[in-house]
């Protein structure tokens, strides 16, 4: 960020940390919040406890500076500091309680850290920072090296250094850090430990900002719910996959290791018992600073979990509101219908395309039939050599239906009706069964026909071989059409 005039003027007007430094009661605000939040490393306090602490602070200041110095009450000061135009405290209600709680904002913590840096330090160490910078550069250089020979050469060099140090210790030459080196590194440890807790508040603040942005987007969303979910989840994944999210996840995985916690406990007890460190009068809470990190990280994790829960609850509420809107529309239709029941409108009131629903029963569906797969055998076709008389293909019988129709009409000219057996008796069959079938087909197509199933008639014909054939069929009566 460029520190030009426009940027700094914008920060001066809008950034809570700058507003805190410019505030008329800045010493009261900064001193009180540093004492109750930063020194004991407390994440949040209930309103009752914080009001009690501030009342004691105000009472002590009024005794020194006069009763008119701070005319407001502790409750009014806390509410004012949590307003949006101040932004120094965050007032919220933890799940399952109606008692409001207060927490520092990341901007306030930055302002307090900057004020801490203004005080003169009795000892300013530079060696430990230089070693830290050198170690960071070495890690980045080795971590980005893709040549295996270079990596192996670096590891070989470090192993040689370790071997040389082991040889010196075995020879009785044990290098020790002097008191200055211990104090230098301890001060850097204190600074990093506090900055780490500050970072947790900022990560949590970023997730809360995402939660608020998601709520706003849901409230104004007019598109499909799937598109909204995709967009929100994409933004959440973007934060989780960001450098900040990845670093926090790696830190959390490292700290959750039981062996790492035990190692941190052992190292802290060992370091804090050294005489040069005891001379600095470290805070007793440093013995459990890693548990403070764990608590702060867990608090951030719970914030992320609440974000997902609130998102799901928001979507459920949105679905409930949509369903209620549908029910309101149906209720409005019913109300209007009842109002028009006594005074029906003229003409068509409403057009219904279907008055009943089409029901398709499940058992009406045909059962599944597997498709038939023809079996094709691999075989070679041989040329046929059978001696078959093909004359039968050219000796087909042709029955002239027009001649048969003329026979029927001729017989009906003399009478009003005649049976099919009488027609065949007067006009013998010359083509056998094929001609009889043609007569039956004509009888079916005849305009007026009657069939008497109770009476059987015999129809006979002689084949070319001289053999007599006979067919029995019910009496079929052909009637004259006019």
Percent of the chain with pLDDT over 90: 3
What are the pLDDT digits (tens) for 417-432? 889 999 998 888 888 8
158 has pLDDT over 80: yes
Within 221-281, residue ranges assigned H as helices are 225-240, 243-255, 258-272, 275-278
The mean pLDDT value for 181-207 works out to: 78
314 has pLDDT over 70: no
Between residues 405 and 344, which one has the greater pLDDT? 405
The mean pLDDT value for 313-331 works out to: 76
Q: Are the CB atoms for 92 and 103 separated by under 8 Å?
A: yes
418 beta partners:
478
481 has pLDDT over 80: no
pLDDT at 143: 77
23 has pLDDT over 80: yes
pLDDT at 236: 62
Between 110-119, 156-165, 189-198, 239-248, the lowest mean confidence (pLDDT) is in 239-248
pLDDT at 238: 61
**Cα angle 299, 303, 307; round to 5:** 170
Nearest by Cα to 102 from 14, 33, 5: 33
The whole model's pTM is what? 0.51
pLDDT band with cut points at 50, 70 and 90 for residue 318: low
Name the most confidently modeled range: 172-176, 338-342, 402-406.
Answer: 402-406
The mean pLDDT value for 170-180 works out to: 81
pLDDT at 1: 67
The mean pLDDT value for 95-114 works out to: 85
pLDDT band with cut points at 50, 70 and 90 for residue 310: low
Between 13-17, 199-203, 242-246, 336-340, the lowest mean confidence (pLDDT) is in 242-246
pLDDT band with cut points at 50, 70 and 90 for residue 190: confident
The mean pLDDT value for 1-8 works out to: 80
Between residues 189 and 302, which one has the greater pLDDT? 189
pLDDT at 232: 67
Within 273-398, residue ranges assigned H as helices are 275-278, 289-339
Count Cβ neighbours within 10 Å for each residue of 233-264 and write b for 16 or more, e otherwise.
eeebeebeeeeebeebeebeeebeeeeeeeeb
**Cα Dmax for the chain:** 151
319 has pLDDT over 80: no
450 beta partners:
477
Q: Over the chain, what is the mean pLDDT?
A: 80
293 has pLDDT over 60: yes
Count Cβ neighbours within 10 Å for each residue of 7-18 and write b for 16 or more, e otherwise.
eeeeeeeebbbb
437 has pLDDT over 60: yes
What are the pLDDT digits (tens) for 353-397? 667 778 888 888 888 888 877 777 777 777 777 777 777 776 677
pLDDT band with cut points at 50, 70 and 90 for residue 132: confident
**Cα angle 41, 45, 48; round to 5:** 145
pLDDT at 239: 60
Between residues 300 and 14, which one has the greater pLDDT? 14
Half-sphere exposure for 479 (CA within 13 Å, toward CB): 7
482 has pLDDT over 60: no
pLDDT band with cut points at 50, 70 and 90 for residue 37: confident
pLDDT band with cut points at 50, 70 and 90 for residue 237: low
286 has pLDDT over 80: no
The mean pLDDT value for 400-405 works out to: 87
Q: Are the CB atoms for 475 and 451 separated by under 8 Å?
A: yes
26 has pLDDT over 80: yes
Between 137-146, 221-230, 407-416, 446-455, the lowest mean confidence (pLDDT) is in 221-230
């Amino acid at each position: 960020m460029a520190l030009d005039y426009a940027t700094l003027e914008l920060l001066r007007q809008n950034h809570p940390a700058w507003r805190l430094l410019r505030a008329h009661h800045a010493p009261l605000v900064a001193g009180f919040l540093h004492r109750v939040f930063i020194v004991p490393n407390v994440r949040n306090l209930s309103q009752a406890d914080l009001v009690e602490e501030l009342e004691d602070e105000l009472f002590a200041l009024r005794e020194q500076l006069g009763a008119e110095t701070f005319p407001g009450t502790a409750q009014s000061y806390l509410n004012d500091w949590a307003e949006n135009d101040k932004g120094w405290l965050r007032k919220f209600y933890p799940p399952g309680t109606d008692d409001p709680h207060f927490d520092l904002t990341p901007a306030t913590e930055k302002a307090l850290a900057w004020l801490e840096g203004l005080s003169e330090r009795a000892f300013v160490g530079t060696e430990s920072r230089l070693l830290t910078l050198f170690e960071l550069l070495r890690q980045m250089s080795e971590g980005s090296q893709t040549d295996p020979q270079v990596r192996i050469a670096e590891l070989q060099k470090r192993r040689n250094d370790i071997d040389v140090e082991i040889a010196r210790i075995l020879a009785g030459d044990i290098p020790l850090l002097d008191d200055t080196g211990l104090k230098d590194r301890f001060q850097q440890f204190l600074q990093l430990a506090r900055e780490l807790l500050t970072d947790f508040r900022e990560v949590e603040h970023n997730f809360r900002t995402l939660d608020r942005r998601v709520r706003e987007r849901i409230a104004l969303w007019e598109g499909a719910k799937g598109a909204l979910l995709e967009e929100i989840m994409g933004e959440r994944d973007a934060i989780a996959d960001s450098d900040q999210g990845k670093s926090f996840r790696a830190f959390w995985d490292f700290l959750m290791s039981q062996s790492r916690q035990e190692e941190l406990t052992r190292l802290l007890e060992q370091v804090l018992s050294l005489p040069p460190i005891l001379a600095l009068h470290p805070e007793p809470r440093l013995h459990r600073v890693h548990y403070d990190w764990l608590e702060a990280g867990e608090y951030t994790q719970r914030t992320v979990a609440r974000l997902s829960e609130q998102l799901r609850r928001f979507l459920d509420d949105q679905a409930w509101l949509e369903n209620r809107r549908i029910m309101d529309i149906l209720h409005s239709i019913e109300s209007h219908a009842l109002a028009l029941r006594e005074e029906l409108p003229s003409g068509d009131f409403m057009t219904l395309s279907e008055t009943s629903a089409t029901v398709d029963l499940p058992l009406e569906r045909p059962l599944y039939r597997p498709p038939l797969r023809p079996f094709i055998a691999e075989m070679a076709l041989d040329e046929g050599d059978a001696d078959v008389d093909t004359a039968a293909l050219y000796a087909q019988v042709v029955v002239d239906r027009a001649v048969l129709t003329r026979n029927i009409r001729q017989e009906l000219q003399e009478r009003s009706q005649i049976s099919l057996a009488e027609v065949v008796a007067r006009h013998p069959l010359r083509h056998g069964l094929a001609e009889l079938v043609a007569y039956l087909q004509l009888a079916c197509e005849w305009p007026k026909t009657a069939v008497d199933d109770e009476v059987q008639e015999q129809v006979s014909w002689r084949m070319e071989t001289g053999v007599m054939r006979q067919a029995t069929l019910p009496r079929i009566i052909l009637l004259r059409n006019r």
